């Protein structure tokens, strides 16, 4: 096996290793309660990771055995996968750029407005048709009852940095003026007209604020935070893949030049 083929084989091992954090990022998103209810981006990430792994294996075999057709197939497929990964990254960044969060005076947590997020997320993630299934799924995750195990008093809860999902779905908006009983039980609103969500709050554990716009906004807030964390891993992986691809293309051209020179020599 020539020097160029050795280089290509090593590069494909690097590309194969790059697929692991991509798959891991998809699996990490899969474990989050909000992503468990919104099957939007985790599967494309996992699928791209597995495809990169398989294509890298094909490239390694092609370089090790010097199968020129397999190497050309590897380079073509890897270019497509890198392009798809870049499109996914740009898309996730663009749709999660707007932030619907706002500070609540005297509280450790933030609250969230639905109109603060991108129109695409509002129309494709938390539209009325999708929300019926999502809110039932959220109720089954137990994300709200877990708050009662962490916070006993009102002071503890009001100082807590709870997640956007918990802030939007597990309690009524602060403007409503509800009295704290526990993190998922609130009574006697002093300003029930302060927000349309004030009328939608329920102490029924299957309802809470799952019908509220604040809950939809909180879900998008969670997705925004998690997608952006996942994007960091994907950015590092795609930069490495591009470097590997550029060097692999150069090595492939060198192999072809060596082969052409050898043919002319004979």
Predicted pLDDT of residue 4: 57
Residues linked to residue 179 through DSSP beta bridges, in sequence order: 187
For residue 27, what are the domain limits?
1-98+223-265
- Residue 5, pLDDT score: 60
State the pLDDT at residue 25: 83
Shared domain for 180 and 146, answered yes or no, is yes
Q: Which two tokens stand for residue 65?
A: 């055995």
Domains of the chain: total: 2
Same domain, 185 and 202: yes
CA angle 51, 57, 62 (to 5 degrees): 125
Query: pLDDT for 202-256, tens place per residue?
Result: 999 899 999 999 999 999 999 899 888 888 888 998 998 998 888 888 777 765 5
Domain match, 145 and 211 both? yes
Position 12 scores a pLDDT of 75
106 and 184 fall within a common domain: yes
- Same domain? 106 vs 204: yes
3-state helix, strand, coil in the chain (%, to 5): 70, 5, 25
Tell me what pLDDT residue 261 has: 44
Same domain, 52 and 8: yes
Spatial CA neighbour of 252 closest among 47, 27, 110, 66: 66
> Do both 117 and 93 map to the same domain?
no
What is the reported pTM? 0.84
Segments in the chain below pLDDT 70 = 1-6, 33-36, 39-42, 254-266
Residues 44 and 132 in one domain: no
> Helix, strand, or coil here: 186?
strand
Say if residues 84 and 73 touch (Cβ distance below 8 Å): no
**How many other C-beta atoms are found inside a 10 Å radius of the C-beta of residue 162?**
20
User: 8 and 49: one domain?
Assistant: yes
Is the same domain home to 125 and 72?
A: no
The pLDDT value recorded for residue 7 is: 72
Is residue 217 within 8 Å of residue 134, measured between CB atoms?
A: no
Residue 214 and residue 196 share a domain: yes
Question: b/e per residue, 16-33, with b = 16+ CB within 10 A?
Answer: bebbebbbbbbebbeebb
Do residues 83 and 105 share a domain? Answer: no
């Amino acid at each position: 096996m020539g020097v160029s083929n050795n280089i290509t084989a090593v590069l494909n091992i690097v590309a194969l290793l790059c697929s692991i954090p991509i798959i891991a990022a998809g699996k990490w998103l899969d474990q989050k309660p909000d992503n468990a209810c919104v099957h939007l981006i985790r599967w494309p990430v996992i699928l791209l990771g597995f495809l990169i792994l398989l294509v890298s294996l094909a490239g390694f075999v092609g370089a090790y055995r010097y199968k020129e057709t397999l190497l050309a197939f590897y380079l073509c497929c890897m270019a497509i996968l890198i392009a798809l990964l870049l499109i996914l990254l740009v898309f996730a960044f663009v749709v999660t750029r707007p932030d619907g969060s706002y500070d609540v005076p005297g509280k450790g947590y933030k609250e969230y407005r639905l109109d603060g997020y991108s129109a695409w997320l509002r129309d494709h993630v938390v539209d009325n048709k999708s929300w019926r299934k999502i809110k039932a799924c959220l109720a089954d995750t137990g994300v709200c009852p877990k708050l009662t195990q962490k916070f006993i008093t009102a002071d503890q809860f009001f100082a807590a940095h709870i997640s956007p999902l918990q802030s939007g779905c597990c309690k009524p908006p602060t403007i409503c003026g509800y009295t704290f009983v526990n993190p998922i039980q609130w009574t006697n609103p002093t300003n029930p007209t302060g927000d349309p969500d004030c009328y939608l709050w329920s102490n029924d554990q299957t309802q809470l604020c799952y019908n509220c716009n604040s809950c939809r906004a909180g879900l998008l807030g969670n997705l925004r935070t998690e997608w952006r964390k996942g994007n960091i891993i994907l950015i590092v992986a795609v930069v490495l893949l591009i470097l590997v691809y550029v060097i692999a293309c150069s090595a492939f051209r060198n192999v072809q030049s060596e082969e052409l020179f050898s043919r002319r020599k004979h």
